[in-house]
Amino acid sequence: MKKKIALITGGYSGEAVISYLSASSIEKNLDTEKWDVYKIDINPDGWHYFTADGEKSPIDKNDFSITLKTGKINFDAILVSLHGTPGEDGKLQGYFDTLGIPYSTCDTATAALTFNKRYTVAVASFAGMHVAKSIHLFKDRQASTDEILKTLKLPVFVKPNNGGSSIGMSKVKQANQLQAALDKAFEEDDQVLVEEFIKGRELTIGVFKSKGEVIALPITEIIAKNEFFDFEAKYQGASDEITPAQIDEAIAIKIRDEARKAYAVFNCKGIVRIDFIYDMDAGIPYMLEINTVPGQSEASLVPQQVVAMGWSLKQFYNALIEECFYKNKT
């Protein structure tokens, strides 16, 4: 009998639109001969499954089940395609843990930690990884722009501390631009990270686990047409993404080693994408952040890397689902 898989999407943040794009792409590439897949929409209006004839079936949150005309459906595993809260910050992972349902992502602690950009770089630094110099700000105890610029050198990046897809993020080159950038970021989050710019090549790499083995995907170099890899660059084509990156093997080894180290240090599971800036002058990779639910849309980086490795997306998603059951046995 085929196992029943819930493909969850949606979310409670501005990243929901990306969640739907990712889920649509994943759905097209799932092995329906191996799995019975049910796409579940989790949004502020409710948690629902939509049947083929358009009927809306609510989720029973007591056991994360649905009841159809054919009977009750309990899920064997969860394939997470929900960016932002509550699918990327650990909330749903904790819920599924209480129900004993395996899922395809990092656990609650890792998801919550890596969703917080400041805590991520703090842990990475403690583990001996290179990170950019930064300041962590809170809405109820902000620092003046003068205080910030006494600590950090321009240019700086200003970004919401929690969240992704570069929503609310700005690159600031001049002091008189800083306050507007802070205001923009605080519109998205109560915490903001201000981070010194590092000159170098922007490289990103997917890492996942299959049958207990940690696999690093081919590296992508991102050449943004805008000031940085913002929402437009990520999802609307305003960047050149070169996979595999045209870099010396010595640089590739450093990136792969640092990515595997981060995967271990943060106790990652499933597929994550780790972003780096490689300082060519110093020969040092600086870790920027870890994305524990990386995009899977047709424009996203991880699918490009999977194909460059020589796998089909069907093989890849099979591996992610199978790992749910593999890790449940170990």
Q: If you average pLDDT over every residue of the chain, what do you get?
A: 92
- For residues 250-264, give the mean pLDDT: 98
Residues 125, 265 within the same domain: yes
CA distances in angstroms from 202 to 184, 242, 261, 280, listed in the order given: 24, 11, 19, 11
- Whether residue 153 is found in the same domain as residue 259: no
**Same domain for 288 and 149:** no
Which phi and psi (to 5°) does residue 226 adopt? -95, -170
Q: Is the predicted pLDDT of residue 236 greater than 90, yes or no? A: no
Mean of the pLDDT values across residues 1-18? Answer: 94
Q: Are residues 278 and 229 in the same domain?
A: yes
Same domain, 161 and 22: no
Per-residue model confidence (pLDDT) at position 233: 46
Residues 6+ away with beta carbon under 8 Å from 31: 314, 317, 318
Q: Report how far residue 43's alpha carbon sits from residue 255's, in angstroms, rounded to the nearest whole number.
A: 36
Residue at which a domain ends, from 148, 179, 196: 196
pLDDT at 296: 96
Does the pLDDT of residue 264 top 80, yes or no? yes
What CATH number is given to the structural domain containing 253?
A: 3.30.470.20
Q: Per-residue pLDDT tens for 185-230?
A: 998 889 999 999 999 999 999 999 999 899 999 999 998 775 644 4
pLDDT at 232 > cutoff 80: no
203 and 192 housed in the same domain:
no
Residues 184 and 45 both lie in one domain:
no
At 164, is the pLDDT very low, low, confident or very high (cuts 50, 70, 90)?
low
Do 227 and 306 lie in one domain? The reply is yes
Residue-number span of the structural domain to which 182 is assigned: 134-196
Q: What integer pLDDT is reported at residue 189 of this predicted model? A: 86
Domain count, the chain: 3
Higher pLDDT, 117 or 9: 9
pTM over 0.75: yes
For residue 231, pLDDT over 80 is answered with no
Together in a domain, 168 and 225: no
d(CA 313, CA 297): 11
Res 70: pLDDT? 87
- pLDDT for 298 equals 82
The pLDDT of residue 299 is: 82
Do 148 and 34 have their domain in common? no
CA distances from 243 to 118, 217, 246, 259, 272 (A): 29, 10, 8, 16, 17
Question: Domain with 95 in it: what CATH number?
Answer: 3.40.50.20
Question: Which pLDDT band holds residue 328 (cuts at 50, 70, 90)?
Answer: very low
Whole-number Å distance between alpha carbons of 294 and 181: 25
Q: Are residues 17 and 118 in the same domain?
A: no
Residues 316 and 181 in one domain: no
Q: How far is CA 147 from the centre of its chain?
A: 32
Instruction: Say yes or no to pLDDT of 251 above 80.
Output: yes
Decide which of 175, 196, 217 is a domain's last residue.
Answer: 196
pLDDT, position 248 = 97
Question: Residue 165: is its pLDDT beyond 60?
Answer: no
Share of the chain above pLDDT 90, in %: 80
With a CB cutoff of 8 Å and minimum separation 6, the contacts of 20 are: 9, 10
Tens-digit pLDDT profile for residues 85-140? 999 999 999 999 999 999 999 999 999 999 999 999 999 999 999 999 999 999 88
At 266-297, the pLDDT tens digits run 999 999 999 999 999 999 999 999 999 999 99
Write down which residue in 57, 87, 104 finishes a domain.
104
For 10-65, what is each residue's pLDDT tens digit? 999 988 999 999 999 999 999 999 999 999 999 999 999 988 777 889 999 999 99
- Which residue, chain included where needed, has tokens 């620092």? 143
Query: 161: pLDDT confidence band, cut at 50, 70 and 90?
Result: confident
- The pLDDT of residue 188: 85
